[in-house]
Structure 1
Amino acid sequence: MAKIAQSQNLPADVMHLIEQLERHCLAPDGSYVSKSSFTELQLAREEMLRERTCYLEAMVGDLLSCRSSDAVYGEAITMVEEYQQTVLGGNLGGVKDIPGLHSHLGQKCSPEVYLSCLILSFHFFLDLTF
Structure 2
Amino acid sequence: MEQANNAPYLNLVGTKTPGFSISHSREWVACGIRSDANIGLDIEVIDTQRDVLALAAHSFNAQQNSELYALTTEKQSDYFYRCWTALEAQLKLRMHCQDLRHLSHPQLAIAVCSDKAFAQTPEIIDVTE
Normalising by the smaller structure, the TM-score range is under 0.3
TM-score, normalising length from structure 1?
0.23
More helix by share: 1
Length-normalised TM-score, structure 2: 0.23
Write 1 or 2 for the structure with the bigger share of strand.
Answer: 2
* Bigger Cα Rg: 1
Higher relative contact order (CA 8 A, sep 6+): 2
